[in-house]
Structure formats: structure tokens, C-alpha cells
Amino acid sequence: MALRREVLLKARQEAASARLDALTLPAGGGWITRAREDALTRLRAMGLPTRRDEYWKFTDPAALVAPATDSAELLGEDPDGTVFDTIDRLKIVFVDGEFDADASDDLAAEGLEITRLAEAARHDLHWARDAYGLLEAEGQAPVERPLAALNTAFATDGVLIRATGKVSRPVALHYLRKDGNADAMVHHCIKLEPGSEMTLLESGAAAARFSQVLEVDVGDGARFNHVRTQGRDHERVSNSNLFARVGEGGVLKSFTLSANGALTRNEAFITLNGRDGVAHIAGAALGDGAFHHDDTVFITHAAPACESRQVYKKVLRGGATGVFQGKILVKQPAQLTDGYQISQALLLGGDDSQFLAKPELEIYADDVKCSHGSTTGEIDPEQLFYLRSRGMPEEEASALLVLAFVAEAIEEIENPDLAEDVRTHLAGWLDRHRG
Amino acid sequence: MAALDETEVREGVDRETVETVASMAGKYKHGWETDIEMEFAPKGLNEDIVRLISEKNGEPQWLTDWRLEAYRRWQKMEEPEWAMLNIPPVDYQNQYYYAKPKSMVDKPQSLDDVDPKLLETYAKLGIPLKEQMILAGVEGADGEMGEGRKVAVDAVFDSVSLGTTFKEELARAGVIFCSISEAVREHPELVKKYLGSVVPQSDNFFAALNSAVFSDGSFVYVPPGVRCPMELSTYFRINAENTGQFERTLIICDREAYVSYLEGCTAPKRETHQLHAAVVEIVVLEDAEVKYSTVQNWYPGDEEGRGGIYNFVTKRADCREDRAKVMWTQVETGSAITWKYPSCILRGNDTQGEFYSIAITNNWQQADTGTKMIHLGRNSKSRIVSKGISAGHAQNTYRGLVSMHPKAKNSRNYTQCDSLLIGDQCGAHTVPYIEVKNTSSRVEHEATTSKVDDDQLFYCRSRGMDEEEAVALVVNGFCKEVLQALPMEFAMEAQALVAISLEGSVG
């Protein structure tokens, strides 16, 4: 009798070999080929996830794993205008997952060293040689993330950014989609040298199926800000993996706004490696209809006196599903840890929407302060009544309350201009999804 | 603790209870064993052993077949691995599955016939004398009882039930309280109807094992409209070495009835681990209410992690009809390993489930415990309050599920899990699953982890308490919400246990 564990592994490996049959390892040579081959070895050992994996209990990975993807409808202009358009930024454009030099700004910027992944492979001494795939590989334990290994092996494009100074002008990655069937994988590596600072923005429809890995190494005393929007391409299936390591006194802040999407899985794996490190990760997700959105976060406190925050808000309507799997792991040396986690869902009327959550704490140090909270429910009728008694029409009142509900997550964005831009975008979406 | 002697006895609390609590001031107090001649079934597990247990209990064919089916399913199952427990492999063939004191083979007719060693066992455990006479299996001793608190006791010694007290008085109220083997003989229709209806034979690995080899346990039936006149309790004692205890409890609370049930457990100190895999099934019908309280104090192993009970328990209550109500309260201080998730299936509309838990782990103990609240009916409500305390090298995990099915409109859940760490070598973990599948329900979950507050400790110490006393007081305060949910008889014992379990964890 085969053990359950073996049966599962076999199913995962079968899923992987079906996918691998449809793929070829990109050409590159040198260090990048070595890194890709290592990732392939990791992937073969793990296999690709199936619905029976505990880590995929709430989200069926089939569409992310399948050898081929369905096409997704191309949408026209965003009625709210392109997000971040009013922000002064260094714009890097990808079309169907491929770098577009003509549409992008000049990659030269003071304090930053930006290289296209496809080009860096030609330089044998590029810094990314020791970085590409490294944090991803470390992030495979204690929980396996095979889709990220798949990405490391097969991603053809992406950017490598090294920050050496304090850079205030954000770098904006904008993903455009022209092909209805695009099945794209991009992989970015970011290294912040000690004391440096940078902001990364991400936006755009990307691809029918989009896989993204972002590896961020935040050096001692460095600051990394990240604001991402995913939206409008309602038929997309996408998975993203953020792998980050934060050094002594380093700060990482990441925020994601997601609207609709047939299937979105955003994973974050963050390790606080140095004393006094800070990691804040937040998300606001809106779903109206048959959409599925999954935030899976794993924060490890490996050093003392670090602070982490996870703030997730989901507004679900018309049968949408929201998933949150969050974990704080506090290792034995990480005394004086301050860990906070909140996940909340607002379920609006109509068809039954779902919120599935697993907020976990795993703690091996005694001098810590860790808490998590999770709530699910409708709009508070008393709050609604209050606003209506002040003469506000019901629709407007509920839109206001929804905005207020999501606000706590948006407040995690440090830069007020960016926060305002995201808020405007969100209000536009809510306006179009009332009722 | 000496101060307890002068304690004014509160109303409803026996002198015995006070003395019992006072006597508990020390390390594990129930670690002695009774040297008594036992009758064992051969070691190991196979279909013949299952048949033998069934035969020894004089069971009808349907039950033998039921056990055999469970055994066959168990053979195809794997031990669950998902809990945060490091369980050394258990050799299921190196266990006795049936042990009975020889003197119980022929039921004694008078006190003189009862094996004095059995009497001594219960005296030592602090069970009051009048009850003890009945516990030891003497018929007719429950005739004249004094006034005051009455608790009917069913005592299970290794594999067999020794006796049940207050049977006549309970019978007058229509309540059936007896061992499950007796219920199989006397009330087969009830057992057949409800056995396995809440926890099916193949529910999980340990439940399947229990279904195959359960030897005894308690059976309760409260007829419609009856408020059970006294608390019912079962006292489990593992005595024999290398013997697993597999009791099965079945409680049926019929319409508009009420019962409060207490369960206590102890075992001797031994170098080797012992297996305990129990199943508790509760059926709650329309407008009925059941309270189930446990003080689990199996031998936890020594400071080095040697010995101790492996406690794998499946407990589930089915609020089968509208407005049924169930409340689980547990104080888990014993066992080397605890794997236990008392659950509520809130099937009827307007049903209510509550779970209050204190889990204390010290030294090398491991506990993975919590609850499942499965909301199926409309307007169902549940509340979870869990307090985990970890000290020494122990690992303590709260694992829970709150599930709101699409049909469970307007349901509510509130969950609070707090963990306290004492010392930097232990762990405290929280693994809640929250599944909300309709928009009108409301679920709230809160969890915190912290250490014993230095300010509180300092305050207590400045009032002249030593460090251990101060920690015990702070921890008792931390557990207050759960302790208050316990019936009076258990609250004091539990409070004392909290202090004892943490002995040696500071300084």
C-alpha cells in the first residue's frame, strides 16, 4: 500500500512532467543556465502543486499548472486612466512578458544599476550571478513553492536592479498585453546595498497567464517600497512570488491592489535576518463575480527586535472567493519580536461569496508580542443606518463604508501621492461595481 | 497550600474536594500504581483479539461485526501526520488491548468480597467513601446517601467499568447512566441507533482503532424533558503496564433534556509510553443541552520526557435538531502527547456550540488541540476560547476550524486563542482554519501570543509571593474565562492543577 505522501508526490511529479514537456529551457549560457538547471532540479524533486496539497487547500492550482493556458479577452483603455500616470517615474515596459526598449525610458539612472535579465546573462561577472534564484531556493522550505522554481528555470525576461544610493524617483514596471493567448513568465532581482533606498511600482494587464518572481535583497539600513496593482484583465490567471530578505535595520514595505481576475495567487516569503528589521505587507482585493483571489504570506523572524505587519482587506461580491493564508514564524533567537496580522473580508449581498482564511502563528521565542485577527461579515447595518440617517443614499453610504474598510490597507503605502493614486483607482472601481 | 486546610468550604463544595485539592500540592500525584492481579488478553492486535474483546463483553453479533469492519478499515488507514507533533512510531502490536482486574471476573456481592487493593486505589484518588463502595462494585450500597452535592460516577479501571453510582436515583428520573457494555446488553436499541452516528468507524485512524477495540466507557441517555438531577462523571484510570485504554462514551440528550457530564483521567508513572485512544459521541436533540467537562491529567512523562500517555482522542457533538446546545470545557494538563479536537456539528437551526480550553504543556509535553465548529443550520452560534500555556521544552498548538456552510445563513462565530510562553525553549502555535461560504454570517477571530507579564509578576512578588506562586497566580488569571466555565467540582481541582503543571518552569 503506497503511503498518502508518496501518492501525492507522484501526482505532483506527473503534473510537472506534463508541463515540462511543453517547455524548453531558454538559451543563455554561463551562470544563468546553471541557475536555471538548478531550479529545474528543484522543480523535478517537488513536482507541481495539486488541489490535494495542504498549501493549495483553498485555491485550485490547475489553471496555473496546466501545460497550456486558455486565452483571455483583451480589454481596451482603463476608464480611470493608467495608474501611476501622474507620478514622475522611470518607466520600463513589458509587452506580453517581453521587454520593450522603445516604449521604455532610458535605463540609466543615478543610484541605480538596471539590466535586462536577457542581457545580464551575457556578462559573466554580473552581480546577479550570485543572486538569481538564490532567495527563491531558500524560500522552498519549510513550504515548497514549485511554481516559483518553474519561473526561475523558464523566465525569459525581467530586470535586475541594484540600488546603491537613495533614489526617490520610482522605477515603474508596466506590463502590456497584445496577444490574447500570452503565457508569460518574468523574473526580477533587486538588490539594495546597505543604506540605499528605492521604490518599485508595478501595473498593467501582463498576460493571459502570468507568472512572476520578484527577489529582493534589502541590505542593512536599506529601504524598499513596493506598490503594485493588478486589475481589469478579468480573465487572467496569475501567480506571483515575492521572496525577500531584510538585513539589520532594513525596511520593506509592499502593497498590492487587486481587482477581479479569474485566478490570482500572490505569495510572499519574507525573512527578517538582521536586528531591528521591518517588513510591512498589505493588500486590498476586490472581486465582483466568479473571481478567485489568494494572498499567501509567510514571514520569518530570524533575528531579534524586528517588526512585521500583514494587513489584508478583501471586498467580495457576486460569488467571488477571497483566500488568505498568513503565517508568522518566530524563531528562537528572535526575542522582542513584534508581529501583527489582520485579514478581513467584507461580503456584500447577492450570490454567496466566500472567504477562506488560515492565519497562523508559530512561535519559539518567549519575549514576543504577536497577534492576529480575522473577521468576516457584511457591512455593519448600524453604520449604514447612521449614514442614511444623515441623508446619504444607501448606495453612496455603502460605497463610503467599503472605501473606509479598505483604507487601513492603503494606509500602509508610505508615499502619500502613491496612496492617493491607488485610492482614486479603487474609488473608480467601486463606482462601476455598485449595487 | 497548607492554607487550604483553613479555607472556608464554599457552598456546594465538599470537604473531600478541598482536601483533594490540598493534597495535590506536589508533582504528579497520581503516579502510583495498584499492584493487582489482572486478566489480560494476549498482546497484539488482530481479528481474534477484536472477537475476544467482543466476547468478553458478551456482545451481540452486530456489534462484533461492527468492530471487525472498523478493524479492517483501520488496517488500510495511516496515522495522521498533519499535527505539529513529533510522535515516535507506535508499535500497535506491542500493546495489550484488554485488561481486567481478576477480582472483577465474578462480580463481588459485598464490600468484604471486593479486592481491597481496588478500594485503596479509589481512596487514594480521593473519591468519597460512600461512592467508593459502589465504585468497587458493591451492589446495594447506594441506598442511603447524605444530603449535599451528588455526583454519579462511573469508574473505568483499565479496560472495564467497575461500577456506577446513584443508578437507582437516576433511574427514578428516567436517566440511564451505565457502562457502555451494560448498555449494549440492556438498551441495545439505543446503542445500535446512535453508536457511530456522530463519529463513524473510519472517521480517522484513532477513531477506527477505538471502534475496533473499545472495551468500555460510559453510556448516558437523558429522556425528553428531563433535567438530569445530578452531575454525571466518569473517572478513567490506566493501571496495567503496556496496556492501551480505549474507552467509548456515548451521550444522548433527548428533546428538552439537560445533562452535565464530567470526565477525569489519571495514570501511573512509567518509563514507557502508553496509548489512550478514546471516542466520545454526543447526540443533542431539539432544545436539549449538554455540558461536557474534562480534566485530563494522564501521566505527562518526567522532566526528561520519559514515559507519559499518548492521548489520541476524537470527541464530537452533533446538535442534530433545532436549538440544541453543547458546551465543551477542557483542562488539558497531562499526557506526553495530546491530539484532541472536541467538535460541534451545528446541524439544526439556532443551535449553539461552545468550546473552552486550557492546555498546559511543560517539560517535553506536546499538545495539538483545538476544536471544529461546523455550522450547517441557520442562525447557529459558536464561541471558542482557548488558552495555551507552554513551558520548559514543550510545544503547544491550537488547531481549529470554523466553517460556515452556504446554508448556515446569519450564523455567528467568535474565537479567541491566547498563548502564553514561559521560558525560551518552548513553542506556542496557532493554526486556525476559517471558511465562510455565505455572506450573512459573521466570523471573528483573535489570537495573541505573549510571555508572562513582568509587571504582573513584579507586583505579586512585591506582595511577598515567591516566583512560582506568582506565575501560578498570573496563569490562573490568564485562564480565568475557561476556569469559570467549569462546574464547581472541577474548577478548584483545575486551578490547583494549573499551578502544579507549571512547577519547575521558572527560575
A399 found inside a domain: no
A279 found inside a domain: yes
B23 pLDDT above the threshold of 60: no
CA distance B27 to chain A (A): 24
Residue B462 banded pLDDT, cuts 50, 70, 90: very high
Chain B contact for A383 (CB, 8 A cutoff): no
Backbone angles phi, psi at B442, to 5 degrees: -130, 130
Give residue B110's pLDDT: 46
A415 found inside a domain: no
CA separation for the pair B342, B329 (Å, rounded): 9
Q: Which candidate from B427, B431, B440 shows the least CB-CB separation from A364?
A: B427
Cβ of A370 within 8 Å of Cβ of B450? The answer is yes
pTM equals 0.91
Nearest to A309 by CA among A339, A343, A269, A276: A339
Q: What is the dihedral of CA B296, B302, B305, B308, to 10 degrees?
A: -40
Cβ atoms of B314 and B206 closer than 8 Å = yes
Which residue carries 514571514 as its cell? A299
Q: Which burial class, exposed, middle or buried, applies to B340 when counting CB atoms under 10 A from its CB (0-12, 13-18, 19+)?
A: buried
Cβ atoms of A147 and A54 closer than 8 Å = no
Give residue B469's pLDDT: 86
Give residue B107's pLDDT: 58
CA separation for the pair A410, A423 (Å, rounded): 7
B185-203 CB burial, b ≥16 within 10 A, e <16: eebeebbeebbbebbebbb
Q: Which residues 6+ apart lie within 8 Å of B116 measured at CB?
A: none
Give residue A267's pLDDT: 98
- What does the radius of gyration of chain B's CA atoms come to, in whole angstroms? 22
Which chain B residues have a beta carbon less than 8 Å from that of A298?
Answer: none
The total of other beta-carbon atoms located within 10 Å of residue B35's CB is: 8
A215 pLDDT above the threshold of 50: yes
pLDDT tens sequence across B170-204: 999 999 999 898 999 999 999 999 999 999 999 99
Give residue B503's pLDDT: 75
Cβ atoms of B364 and B335 closer than 8 Å = no
Give residue A292's pLDDT: 96
Q: Which residues 6+ apart lie within 8 Å of A315 measured at CB?
A: A284, A285, A286, A287, A345, A346, A348, A402, A405, A406
B8 pLDDT above the threshold of 50: no
Q: How many CA atoms within 13 Å lie on the side-chain side of B372?
A: 13
pLDDT tens sequence across B304-355: 888 899 999 999 999 999 999 999 999 998 899 999 999 999 999 999 999 9
ipTM value > 0.90:
yes
Q: Closest residue of B to A331, CA-based?
A: B427
Chain B contact for A156 (CB, 8 A cutoff): no
Give residue B498's pLDDT: 80
Instruction: Count each helix (H run) and each strand (E run) in chain B, helices first.
Output: 13, 23
Give residue B264's pLDDT: 83
Cα separations in angstroms, B428 against A55, B141, B399: 21, 48, 11
pLDDT tens sequence across B353-401: 999 999 999 999 999 999 999 999 999 999 999 999 999 999 999 999 9
CA distance B78 to chain A (A): 8
Cβ of B431 within 8 Å of Cβ of A358? The answer is yes
Q: How many CA atoms within 13 Å lie on the side-chain side of A325?
A: 16
Q: Closest residue of A to B390, CA-based?
A: A366
Cβ of B436 within 8 Å of Cβ of A376? The answer is yes
Helix, strand or coil, per DSSP, at residue B334: coil
A246 found inside a domain: yes
Strands (E), A234-368: 237-246, 251-259, 263-272, 278-288, 292-301, 307-317, 321-330, 338-347, 354-363
What share of chain B in percent tops pLDDT 90?
A: 53
Give residue B506's pLDDT: 64
- Amino acid letter, residue B384: I
Which chain A residues have a beta carbon less than 8 Å from that of B447?
Answer: 359, 361, 371-373
CA separation for the pair A9, A53 (Å, rounded): 9
Which set of grid coordinates corresponds to residue B476?
A: 490562573
Q: Which domain range does residue A265 map to?
A: 4-378
CA distance B407 to chain A (A): 10
B111 pLDDT above the threshold of 50: no
Q: Which residues 6+ apart lie within 8 Å of A222 measured at CB?
A: A163, A192, A193, A194, A195, A196, A197, A247, A250, A251
Which residue carries 498568513 as its cell? A326
Lowest mean pLDDT among A5-9, A34-38, A400-404, B489-493: B489-493
Which residue carries 522605477 as its cell? A171
Q: Cis (ω within 30 of 0) for the bond into A26?
A: no
Tell which wins on pLDDT, A151 or B147.
A151
Cβ of B419 within 8 Å of Cβ of A364? The answer is no
Which set of grid coordinates corresponds to residue B189?
A: 436499541
Give residue A149's pLDDT: 98
A29 found inside a domain: yes
- Amino acid letter, residue B283: V
Q: Which residues 6+ apart lie within 8 Å of A119 measured at CB?
A: none
pLDDT tens sequence across A278-293: 999 999 999 989 899 9
Cα separations in angstroms, A70 against A180, A263, A402, B503: 9, 12, 33, 62
CA distance B249 to chain A (A): 30
Positive or negative, the Cα torsion across A379, A380, A381, A382? negative
Which residue carries 466520545 as its cell? B280
The mean per-residue pLDDT over the stretch B214-239 comes to 89
Cα separations in angstroms, A155 against A117, A205, A267, B73: 9, 18, 17, 47
Q: Closest residue of B to A365, CA-based?
A: B424
Give residue A427's pLDDT: 85
- Which range, A19-33, A295-309, A381-395, B23-37, has the best average confidence (pLDDT)? A295-309
Taking only residues 15 to 74 of chain A, the set having a beta carbon closer than 8 angstroms to any beta carbon of chain B reads 54, 58
CA separation for the pair B111, B104 (Å, rounded): 13
Which chain A residues have a beta carbon less than 8 Å from that of B451?
Answer: 366-368
Nearest to B244 by CA among B256, B236, B235, B232: B236
Give residue B153's pLDDT: 77
Mean pLDDT for all residues in chain A? 93
B495-507 CB burial, b ≥16 within 10 A, e <16: bbbbbbbbbebbe
CA separation for the pair A131, A30 (Å, rounded): 14
How many domains does chain A contain in total? 1
CA separation for the pair B323, B289 (Å, rounded): 9
Lowest mean pLDDT among A77-81, A167-171, B231-235, B409-413: A77-81
Q: Closest residue of A to B429, CA-based?
A: A362
Q: Give the H or E element holding residue B445.
A: strand B442-451
Q: Which burial class, exposed, middle or buried, applies to B6 when counting CB atoms under 10 A from its CB (0-12, 13-18, 19+)?
A: exposed
Mean pLDDT for all residues in chain B? 85
Which chain A residues have a beta carbon less than 8 Å from that of B405?
Answer: none
> What are residue A270's DSSP bridge partners?
A244, A299
Nearest to A56 by CA among A41, A44, A46, A42: A46
Chain B contact for A366 (CB, 8 A cutoff): yes
Give residue B7's pLDDT: 39
CA separation for the pair A416, A199 (Å, rounded): 13
